[in-house]
Structure 1
Amino acid sequence: MSFGGMFDGAGSGVFSYDAAGGGGGGVHNSRLLPTPPSIPDLMGGSSGLTGGPVGSAAMRLPAGIGGLDGAMHAAAADGGAFDRAVLLELALAAMDELVKVAQMDEPLWLPSLDGGFETLNYDEYHRAFARVLGQCPAGYVSEATRESGIAIISSVDLVDSLMDAPRWSEMFPCVVARASTTDIISSGMGGTRSGSIQLMHAELQVLSPLVPIREVVFLRFCKQHAEGLWAVVDVSVDAVLRPDQNGCGGSSSSSYMGCRLLPTGCIVQDMNNGYSKVTWVVHAEYDETAAHQLYRPLLRSGQALGARRWLASLQRQCQYLAILCSNSLPARDHAAITPVGRRSMLKLAQRMTDNFCAGVCASAAQKWRRLDEWRGEGGGGGGGGGGDGEDKVRMMARHSVGAPGEPPGVVLSATTSVRLPGTLPQRVFDYLRDEQRRGDWDILANGEAMQEMDHIAKGQHHGNAVSLLRPNATSGNQNNMLILQETCTDSSGSLVVYAPVDVQSMHVVMNGGDSAYVSLLPSGFAILPDGHNNGASPSSAEVGGGASPNSAAGGGSNNTGSLVTVAFQILVNNLPTAKLTVESVDTVSNLLSCTIQKIKSALQASIISP
């Protein structure tokens, strides 16, 4: 892959920085200064673009003291007096690496075995670059992927979203569980985002209880390199802020880190038609042992939190925003819903899906109390490879006092994940969103089909939509319950999330009323590829501490399958002060296991349980 003329004015086509403000492209030793240099000095002038071969001595960080990793430790040991200078230098070094890595082709980047991924050739990477954060911690696994595509968004709008923590979370709702800006190192230059450097905290999630949330503390640096051409880079700063963890993002008493970001981010170029070309690069190191074996091939492949997932999520969200702002309705949409009603219904569906994700991953966004980390309910294995052959269900509870948007009482959450080997994710998604087959597995359908009453498209793919379903349509029985459902799909995975809602509340919403007061508890499915179609190879995966790169990656098998997470949130008692009973826990857990078995039978799939 090549950017061609994207980097006009860069001489050799390679970005480098003159941190001292001159023209040589050298790295200024700002960590030795008692007072940090100014932002313009560190930016190297207005453009910050000079020539220079990739990996040249002028661009390498001083190796004699361990590069920036060593400098950060020294700064921390010195009481943090030089932290700001070190952070600025770290941001510059990360930006330099990102823009070089983003534009280089083979031999630095290699296609993955079957899935069309571009993965990093670490032998070539180590020859071309001095590592910004030092060596990979022992036992950690490296993942690095790159993906390019077109998104319906301008470069400035995307940059604004990335540099605003709440907007960033909304742009990637299934990936970013929580995000906040904890400090602003630089607010930018000339009234623009260019030169903006922020210290941020985020929780990144894979929708399964088998994968812990990745908590990362990092710098985000934004730079405009030319008209309509921007780059945004992230890089972890644990060595500065958490020196007791030796820069590895290790465990702490309050949270699980276990991950650090090497230069990661995107290059965005306007296409003069409201679209942008986006190239995403993800380079991370993480503690693989924290994730269950079922999910390690997916994580190794880069499909869980790699470049494809970020870019696909961005493209899908941009399509949704374009439709939301459009005056014309997609062909399948029901014209009876007013524009303001559509927005209110979409907002309600977004809250439903956000609550579903928070319940699956036990994000701090919702206060769940874990009853028993794993509660075994027998009879669900049937596939081997799962140890004891039982379905393992994570059970959590919270006491709701009737805040707007949720019913009062005791809410129980039950979540589990299984692998369906040889069953394509698209097949699982199509089955679960088929209202005609809803009676196969959904207890709310009473064994019958459902009728789609309303449909709001959220993207070009017909699987991206918000629907209103009516149970028991064929029997003629009328009741006061409807099903609000959101389905989402892209090349990285799919969601089917639903919740029962009452007719009166939905009438208010569809007429443009405030959806914040509609009580709902979401249930649903997260469907991901199992990672066995493009396992990591020795050239594209790196493991600290001498572990074999292919030890858990599936060896590149063509046995494509699905990882399916099932989650129910159920009100088991409408009194907030009530105590949770063992019978309630067993009932919900058995309901989850029964649902999985019904899906297994309908798809004629085998199941591997954790």
Structure 2
Amino acid sequence: MDSNHDSSSSNGLETSMSTTNRDNKIYHRHSVHQIQRLEAYFKECPHPDDTQRHKLGEELKLKPKQIKFWFQNKRTQAKAQSEKVFNASLRAENIRIRRENEVIQEALKTVTCPPCGGPRPGKEERKLYLQKMRAHNTYLKRQLEQISDFVNNNGGHSIPSVNSLASTSSNPHFSYGTSSNRPLEPPSLEREQYTHEHINNAQPTQHFQPLSQMEKMMMSQTMVNAVTEIIRLIHIEEPMWIKSSIDDRLVIDQENYEKSFTNISHLKSPSARIESSKDVVVVHMDARNLVDMFFDTEKWARIFSTIVNEAKTIHVLESMDTQRQNFSQLMYEQLHILSPLVPPREFIILRCCQQIEDDLWVIADVSCHHVNIDFESPTCSKRPSGCLIQALPNGLSKVTWMEHVEVNEKVRTHRIYRDLLCGGFGYGARRWTVTLERMCERLHLSSISVFPTTDFAGVVETIEGRRSVMNLGERMLKNFAWILKMSGNYDFSQLSETNSSGVRVSVRVNSEAGQPTGLIVCAASSICLPLSPLEVYNFLTNLEIRHQWDVLCHGYPAAEVAGFATGTDDKNRVNILQTASTAEDADMMIIQDSFRDALGGMVVYAPVDLNTASAAVSGQVNPSGIPILPSGFIISRDGHHFTSPELEDGSDYSKSLLTVAFQILVSGPTLSGDLQIEESTTTVNTLITSTLQRIKVMLNCNEGK
């Protein structure tokens, strides 16, 4: 293909094909319909893979090469246009700064000293003043160090410094493991303590610089604009919201959006793309309680425990009206889901709540880039997003959720998860509403004072014991979701561009409460299965065949000795399982928490000894202190939108993405110097590979499928 012609015809109207004579070209002019379809697809997925190109070519009656060249030309054109706009804005900014500088220089010539009315200080006076201020600053720092040393020497805590927000030391290293979840010391269970998962989500331990008046004014204006924009976007339908060309969800039409709203910030990168979505759900929770949970970072991280890894309040802003529940705060959050192959997303956001009517609230989130906080250049930026919460009778709430995010894909996601993220279901509104609905059901069921008919109490005799087991299961889900980030550790990646990701292994030394102390090895892998998420979930929760793939069963069947419903779907349960194993393993039990929803499901479990299980079911100890090391599976749709006029029976014909993660406690608190990390990682690698192989064989899923 002639590169000169490519750049000149990158408007997507033509594609040239070479003949035997290089001077003669056959030009194919695309139809208006083809161009419109290609343009719409490009907006959502500018880098289609081979499968997507073939599918698009069949739909538009174009060859895959024509599709490939069209997207290459379009990306080149988009990059050139982006650079042109960026350069123009830089030139305009440069001219503006020069003019401001000239005005300031002129003003300095006539400036006077405000207190005395005399001439402005000379260079020597200013130099002397700066030296004096530096000396005073050094003195203050020395005083701070002395006070900090004094506090430490007297049994207190050191004064924290302003480090990066995502401190690895404050992350909850929640684990999953084998039956060596040993010593369960009574004192550690009897203390009413919060484990690190609660501490890291509570109000911030760092000290941040106070906000300047200018920063407060800018934030106030940003919040007003964000609230106004969200209210408009939620109430407007077409032409602002259109159906996605990939998966039929509602997305924002960017052309109409940019015409309707001004002051839109863009990530300055040609690889940036826009994700937008909207969804509605009715949940079993009072609207005022929902508003409170959204503004308490600890509760926020709890209710969205499978999405929010970390949340911290940086500043609570002063614009509060407690009577109308109008308030705002600056906060940090880290989001992560599904698999180690999906990178986490970090935001510094302004969150604002405004009570519009007696029974109606709007929660607005928007990225904040004009605050003096040490935060790396973001790979994603949240445009005004949030939800509208309407109070309904009988303690119900209607929540309309909207997500609008700009993502800079400098590092492309692994192929098996690319469709899911490009389609918007990865971090889209649907995932938030599905999670909110499930957690509201769970919180409601855990708060009741009697055993519901859907429960099998079994070995659990009291409501307190039931609540303790449900809280332990919830903590397992949170811990399991956290370990999938697998960052900041030894990493042994074996990534591939096939239907499997290979095995990723990480190693950490744990000293946190709520999990075994010592060296923990974690391994994770993701595969694509030609089965629906429901089929995979039913397989993994089938106790009759579990012993055929789960090494914890040692080949013996497992039986449920207690089970409690965590949602209106009776398949969403926390169970206590026991295997009919050999005498030496007779004291081991398995605690499992599993759920399914519209986007997939999770099955998380952990082996515990009888003493630990007895402590959990007694209801007399704080479940946050019970050491437990969870492992399990995350099931998700593959992101492809399946449509066929021949299939109208309502069946689910989508594929599944299955992520499995195992944790093993390699050694106790005393680490030996000759510990072979390589040997441990090889063991867990073999374990996860063999488990996945057994699952694929039992599901009749060969590599070729």
User: Fold-level match, TM-score > 0.5?
Assistant: yes
- Pick one of 159, 180, 193 that aligns with 2:291: 159
Provide, for residues 48-94 of structure 1, a one-character-per-residue CA deviation record: whole Å limited to 9, x for no partner. xxxxxxxxxxxxxxxxx98xxx9xx99xx999762211111111111
In the TM superposition, 1:201-600 aligns within 5 A as 201-241=332-372, 250=377, 257-290=378-411, 291-335=413-457, 336-362=460-486, 370-375=489-494, 385-386=497-498, 391-401=501-511, 403-420=512-529, 422-472=530-580, 479-514=586-621, 515-533=623-641, 560-578=654-672, 579-600=675-696
Higher mean displacement: 105-114 or 165-174: 105-114
Q: Give the drift of 1:400.
A: 2.9
Q: Tell me if structure 1 keeps the 8 A contact 2:500–2:525.
A: no
Aligned residues of 1:455 and 1:465 also touching (Cα < 8 A):
yes
Report the AA paired with residue 520 of structure 2.
V
Give, in angstroms, the shift of residue 188 of structure 1. 1.7
Distance verdict in 2 for CA 1:426–1:186, change over 3 Å: farther
- Structure 1 pair 517/90, CA: closer, same or farther in 2 (3 Å)? closer
Preserved CA contact (<8 Å) 1:375 1:395: no
Superimposed CA distance per residue, residues 475-522 of structure 1 (whole angstroms, 9 cap, x where no aligned partner):
898611000000022212311000001112211221212123422211
Q: Where does residue 271 of structure 2 map in the other structure?
A: 139
1:183 Cα offset (Å): 0.5
Contact 2:215–2:370 under 8 Å retained in 1: no
User: For the residues of structure 2 that align with 1:236 and 1:220, how far apart are their CA atoms?
Assistant: 9
Query: Counterparts in 2 of 1:49-198, with a 5 A limit?
Result: 82-112=214-244, 117-134=249-266, 137-194=269-326, 196-198=327-329
Q: 2 CA distance for matches of 1:187 and 1:160?
A: 16
- More displaced stretch, 304-313 vs 332-341: 332-341
Shift of 1:329: 2.7
Q: Is the 8 A contact 2:247 2:423 kept in 1?
A: no
Segments of structure 1 that go 5 or more residues without pairing to the other structure are 1-64, 251-256, 364-368, 536-557
* Number of residue pairs the alignment of both structures matches: 488
Deviation per CA, 1:297-341, whole angstroms, max 9, x where unpaired?
111111111100001100000001111122343323124531110
Q: Over aligned residues, Cα RMSD in angstroms? A: 2.9
- 8 Å CA contact retained: 2:380, 2:405: yes
Match of 2:505, as an amino acid?
A: M
CA separation of 1:362 and 1:478: change in aligned 2, threshold 3 A: closer
Q: How has the CA–CA distance of structure 1 residues 502 and 116 changed in structure 2, closer, same or farther, with 3 Å as cutoff? A: farther
Q: CA deviation at 1:163?
A: 0.8
TM-score by length of 1: 0.75
Inter-partner Cα distance in structure 2 for 1:449 and 1:197: 53
Q: Using the alignment, how far apart are the partners of 1:485 and 1:187 within structure 2?
A: 45
The residue type paired with residue 208 of structure 1 is: S
CA distance in 1, matches of 2:288, 2:591: 35
Where 1:318 maps in the other structure, the secondary structure is helix
How far apart in 2 are the matches of 1:531 and 1:275? Answer: 31
Distance 1:427 1:190 in 2: 48
Q: 2:489 is matched by which residue type in structure 1?
A: R
* Cα gap change, 1:187 to 1:468, in 2 (>3 Å): farther
**Paired residues of 1:532 and 1:559 also in contact (CA < 8 A):** no
The verdict on how the C-alpha distance between 1:108 and 1:397 changes in structure 2, with shifts beyond 3 A counting, is same
Tell me how far apart the structure 2 counterparts of residues 592 and 138 of structure 1 sit (CA, whole Å): 39
**Structure 2: gaps of 5 or more residues:** 1-87, 105-210, 644-651
Contact residue 218 and residue 234 of structure 1 kept, 8 A: yes
Deviation at 1:126, TM superposition (A): 2.3
Shift of 1:138: 2.5
Structure 1 residue 391: Cα displacement = 4.9
> Take 2:351 and 2:430, find their aligned partners in 1: how far apart are those partners?
20
The answer to which structure has the higher helix fraction is 2
CA contact (8 A) 1:303 1:309 kept: yes
Structure label with greater radius of gyration: 2
| Residues 106-115 or 591-600, more deviating | 106-115
SS at match of 1:467: strand
